[in-house]
Structure 1
């Protein structure tokens, strides 16, 4: 059932079950990254550093997952978590920047997913290979608009497709784990040059730092249930789905990356193509193994593409409903789909397809840029939990409105201390990730955030509201300086995508 709201949008009934939320997390997290993981990590780290990296990433991303788990329970009235938490915690503009960054990260990820989908297909159907970039760009565009047509039909249809593709694409991953474990894994090869001291990939610290961006990329989507909490049947479902989804994904990632070092050496893994998991299984069972994983990759990327097409419109729709951008963008059709936000997202995806293909931007570059944009709401959500645990509320700001009431249940002192620890660990981990990232992509991320000032400032002026408070002016100044540095680097050629 759908109800008309006073803002002119339509409130949808809460119809997404916990099973679908878990599928949404796994479907959006297990995308292209897991299939490229052996080569990605093998190019920068040996087995020992890999294990250390996963310990750090596991603790760090678990703390991030628990941030959303805790906030979903403490603030059940807040919808679209990655946006709402940042807004209540640090003010309207920070909330807007988080949602804008999350949206752009999702848009860029869509281009990367579709590109990898067709490039893998191109191994078997040459017309889709990188030798035909125009054909590839057209194919990516057609897929984008096809998925838009599916998603625009409503949440139920898209959620069903997400659940179906999630189940199907997990099967090749399980086959990889079982076959490599019993047929191909060699402990002697795994422990050979355990710390990669014979290569030129740097110290153990450098290796651990090098794999951080890839461990974050393959975990992106763990907050998926929180993003879509507006459609959930209960907030308890959101928090449980987040934890169950995280543990499932972590087990898959650690198993696949560890087993690969028992089949091929670090140098051999580093030399593999993007779909490196297929090459690892091929080394164990022959060409049919590569074909199996390639089919799994295509299904996985397709499922992730649908999941992210669902997710990326939510921040736009929620900001529109709350008056941070024009309200018409939040329009919802009779089937419960935020069709205007979906249409805008699809158009922007199309624009990025043109820009990236003209610039011959690599899949890895898209990963780096999208990851940095995702880190913004992760960091701000962790800061909000720290504020809740220390002062009981977020920063005071004038425009939050009744939907962003910062009240909540009374939290026992002992439980509040646990929440503080979770928030601090997630905050430190997020800051460490910005440090570990390639600095140029931090600057490019600032450049991507800057255009968001146009609709935000226009809406503020139209509503005759204060544009920025003192704290927000400081954030804007930092953003403009970083974006300016990135633009200068692109102009003089010192930076490039």
Structure 2
């Protein structure tokens, strides 16, 4: 695409395509496991304001700092220093890696409904591993995600979602079922609200990508317009799927569904063909997303290596133009998490929660950077930064502490590499603020190791 030729509607389609992923297919079960209809609706209202503010953080920063184009972590590094920028980039990379395992698990679990051999945990682990290494082999030989694949996967996920909304709304929704236990009497309302939060973030991962397209927009104002239209379109689909599901099955029934819970809800309304329709869409969508995200997994590593935060060798490309070393590292770590998740019997839900915690790092620090950047300029941009910062920090508070602690443990090995690289380059390790962050990461990692050792922490 040439510069400044992308229309507002093309931007909208790009935003919707990059945001709608595997999460929406598991949404009925995910939300049904933690909240009743009332908490669900309020949760989406909060998430709507919060995630839109985060989307605008990246859009505002893209306009204010057009020279910073090294991914979402670049803003954090510019405002809060090398180590916090590195931690954000590492969090985004680890979130992408963990998400890969979650995507593949959902893919093979869905196949397992029709081919039970994939429900065997060892077969599932081997299948995820083989898929990851086959895609790595293709990427190192110059495989690109073709426009045809983008088109197929976009249609594959939107057709069953729209079919779900229409069919359930007209054939399966029962007001009595929806209102039977509206406030989720089985658990405190605040606990329900906290429980739903990380799932609402997971299904919005990618909304920050709107800022990537700002340079290609025909008009800069189109980016803000497209962000609102694209965001509200995605939010409408997410709220529709969530709300309609509560009108078909009770909260307890939704919580007991398999990972491909959208398919199970539609099957309850129209019969087996509804489940097949959603399952085919899910498999095609997730497979396309798996290829593109494994390709993108290497990007934060390459960018941080080019910026001197990791060894320069990690940015090298092979003869096919592939960042083979970064992709090898990403695939090795994907394989590591396959072993960790499957040995610990981690569920798809646990993978999602941990990946979301990692994604929150660049969100939080980017929002704080915008506040610092606009602190002396009272107005809309400052308000957006404040809302996004408060929302992001509240998400960490709302998260299960086990995922926060395990997130600290996941970041620690990268910190060791960072220290080694700084010493090799003869650069200062940390400033005072960074030492505080390092101390918190180390304490969290130690607590996580102790909890895993005595069994008080797990990913079950």
The normalised TM-score by structure 1 is: 0.85
Q: Distance in 1 between matches of 2:135 and 2:146?
A: 9
Q: Does the alignment pair 1:176 with 2:176?
A: no
Question: 1:135 offset after TM fit, Å?
Answer: 2.2
SS in 2 for 1:325: coil
Question: 1:456 offset after TM fit, Å?
Answer: 0.9
Q: Does the alignment pair 1:389 with 2:384?
A: no
Q: Distance in 1 between matches of 2:332 and 2:124?
A: 18
Q: How does 1:272-283 map to 2 (within 5 A)?
A: 272-283=257-268
In the alignment, which of 163, 177, 189 is matched to residue 204 of structure 1?
Answer: 189
Residue 23 of structure 1 contacts residue 166 of structure 1 at CA under 8 Å; is this kept in 2? no
TM-aligned CA distance change 1:422 to 1:145, over 3 Å: same
Matched residue, 2:112: 122
Q: Which moved more, 1:13-22 or 1:111-120?
A: 13-22
CA offset digits 1:16-64 (Å, max 9, x no partner): 9688876665445322221111111112211111110000011111111
CA offset digits 1:188-210 (Å, max 9, x no partner): 3222222123xx2x222221111
TM-aligned CA distance change 1:257 to 1:21, over 3 Å: same
Matched residue, 1:69: 59
Question: 1:479 offset after TM fit, Å?
Answer: 1.0
SS in 2 for 1:122: helix
Which stretches in structure 1 are left out of the alignment for 5+ residues?
1-12, 392-412
Question: 1:459 offset after TM fit, Å?
Answer: 1.4
Q: How does 1:300-339 map to 2 (within 5 A)?
A: 300-333=285-318, 336-339=321-324
Q: How does 1:30-429 map to 2 (within 5 A)?
A: 30-129=20-119, 131=120, 133-152=121-140, 157-158=145-146, 161-197=149-185, 200=186, 202-226=187-211, 233=216, 236=220, 242-333=227-318, 336-391=321-376, 417-429=379-391
Question: 1:240 offset after TM fit, Å?
Answer: 6.2
Residue 59 of structure 2 contacts residue 210 of structure 2 at CA under 8 Å; is this kept in 1? no
Q: Distance in 1 between matches of 2:5 and 2:245?
A: 36
Q: Does the alignment pair 1:487 with 2:449?
A: yes
The normalised TM-score by structure 2 is: 0.92
Q: Distance in 1 between matches of 2:64 and 2:254?
A: 44
Matched residue, 1:398: none
Residue 117 of structure 1 contacts residue 298 of structure 1 at CA under 8 Å; is this kept in 2? yes
In the alignment, which of 472, 476, 493 is matched to residue 438 of structure 2?
Answer: 476
Residue 72 of structure 1 contacts residue 238 of structure 1 at CA under 8 Å; is this kept in 2? no
SS in 2 for 1:157: coil
TM-aligned CA distance change 1:157 to 1:265, over 3 Å: closer
Residue 151 of structure 1 contacts residue 310 of structure 1 at CA under 8 Å; is this kept in 2? yes
Which stretches in structure 2 are left out of the alignment for 5+ residues?
none
Matched residue, 1:7: none
